[in-house]
Amino acid sequence: MISRYLESASSYSGDIDDLILWILLITGFWFLLAEGLFIGLIVKYTARDGVRAKYVSGEDPKEKRWVAWPHYATLVFDVIILVAAIRVWTNVKIEQPPVDETVRITAQQWAWTFTHAGPDGKLDTPDDIRLVDELHVEKGKTYGFELTSRDVLHSFSVPVFRLKQDAIPGRVIKGWFKPTMSGQFDIQCTEICGIGHALMPGRIFVEDHDVHEAWLKAVTPVAAAGAAAPAPTTGGTK
C-alpha cells in the first residue's frame, strides 16, 4: 500500500512496509470497534422520559467481560506486533549481511559528504572519490555505510529505502542497504540540526552495472590511477 505513494527501492523496504500495514490494520480494527461500540451505547442508553438511570458498579462478572475479554485480545495482538517488529529490527539493524562495498557518510551543517571506494573497492586509498550531496551506488549490490557527524546531531534518511539512522558526533554508526531499483532519489536530514536544516538535501543515484562503471571511470582521479600503477624499474646491475 505504501509503495503506491512512495517507491520501495531496497531489499528490506517491503518488510518495513508490511509491518506498518499490519500495525495500521490491527489498531484500525480495534479503534473502529471501540468507537462503534461507544457510539452505539450512547445512542441506546440516551436519557428518556420516565426511565431512571442505572448505576453500574462493574462488579458483576457479566459486566467485567466487556473489559476483560477485549483486554486479553489486545494483549494477543500486541505480542503479534512485537514479534513482527523484532524480526524486522533484527534483519535491518542487528544482522548485517556480507557487504560488497563500504561508503563513508559524513554529516555537517548543512551538507553531506560521501566517500566512495574507487576502482580498488577499498576506502582510505588514493583512488577514493569524495562528493558533496551526491551518493552513487550500483543496483543489486549490498553496501555497508559508516556514518558520522562533524558537529551536531543529524539523521541520514533515504525514504525509498525506508532507511533512517541518526548521525552522532564522536561516533561511527554502521549499517547497510541493498538498492533494488534504478533511479535518482532523495536523501534527507530528519533531525533538526540548525537554521539550515531544511537546506540539507542530497541525492542518491542508483545505477545499473554498466552505467555505474562508466561513472566510476569518469570521476576516478587521474593522479590516483597513476599512483596505483607500479613504478618502472631501471636497467643495470651492480
**Residue 203, strand partner residues:** 134, 186
pLDDT band at 47 (very low <50, low <70, confident <90, very high): confident
Cell readout for 77 is 495482538
Mean pLDDT of the chain: 87
Per-residue pLDDT of 102-116, as tens digits, reads 999 999 999 999 999
Q: Is the pLDDT of residue 223 over 60?
A: no
Q: Are residues 204 and 129 in the same domain?
A: yes
Average pLDDT over residues 184-211: 93
Asked if 9 contacts 160 with a C-beta cutoff of 8 angstroms, the reply is: yes
Question: What is residue 49's predicted lDDT score, i.e. its pLDDT?
Answer: 80
Q: Are residues 144 and 77 in the same domain?
A: no
Q: Is the pLDDT of residue 234 over 60?
A: no
Residue 211 domain-assigned (yes or no): yes
Q: Are residues 23 and 112 in the same domain?
A: no
Residue 231 domain-assigned (yes or no): no
Amino acid at the residue 118: G
Question: What is residue 238's predicted lDDT score, i.e. its pLDDT?
Answer: 40
Q: Are residues 109 and 172 in the same domain?
A: yes
Question: What is residue 237's predicted lDDT score, i.e. its pLDDT?
Answer: 46
Range of the domain at 62: 2-94
CA geometry: angle 199, 204, 205, nearest 5 deg: 140
Q: Alpha-carbon distance 135 to 130, whole Å?
A: 9
pLDDT band at 221 (very low <50, low <70, confident <90, very high): low
CA nearest 220: which of 157, 128, 146, 150? 128
- Mark which of 94, 124, 150 sits at the end of a domain: 94
Q: Are residues 78 and 123 in the same domain?
A: no
Residue 235 domain-assigned (yes or no): no
Residue 228 domain-assigned (yes or no): no
DSSP output for 65-128: HHHHHHHHHHHHHHHHHHHHHHHHHIIIII-PPPPSEEEEEEEETTEEEEEE--TT--SSSTT-
Residue 232 domain-assigned (yes or no): no
Q: How many domains does the chain have?
A: 2
Q: Are residues 161 and 133 in the same domain?
A: yes
Asked if 118 contacts 220 with a C-beta cutoff of 8 angstroms, the reply is: yes
- Mark which of 78, 94, 110 sits at the end of a domain: 94
Rg (CA), the chain: 28
Residue 32 domain-assigned (yes or no): yes
pLDDT band at 161 (very low <50, low <70, confident <90, very high): very high
**Looking at the chain, which runs of residues are DSSP E strands?**
101-108, 111-116, 129-132, 134-138, 143-149, 154-158, 163-167, 173-177, 183-189, 202-207
Q: Are residues 60 and 116 in the same domain?
A: no
- Mark which of 50, 69, 94 sits at the end of a domain: 94
Q: Are residues 115 and 154 in the same domain?
A: yes
Q: Are residues 75 and 105 in the same domain?
A: no
Asked if 175 contacts 161 with a C-beta cutoff of 8 angstroms, the reply is: no
Per-residue pLDDT of 77-132, as tens digits, reads 999 999 999 999 999 998 889 999 999 999 999 999 999 988 888 888 888 899 99
Q: Alpha-carbon distance 116 to 2, whole Å?
A: 31
Report how far Cα 170 is from the mean position of its chain's Cα atoms: 22
How would you label 96-116 residue by residue, b for 16+ Cβ within 10 Å and e otherwise?
A: eeebebbbbbbbbbbbbbbbb
Q: Are residues 122 and 152 in the same domain?
A: yes
Per-residue pLDDT of 48-58, as tens digits, reads 887 787 777 77
Residue 238 domain-assigned (yes or no): no
Q: Are residues 132 and 166 in the same domain?
A: yes
* CATH number where 180 lies: 2.60.40.420
pTM over 0.85: no
Per-residue pLDDT of 10-43, as tens digits, reads 999 999 999 999 999 999 999 999 899 889 988 8
Q: Are residues 28 and 125 in the same domain?
A: no
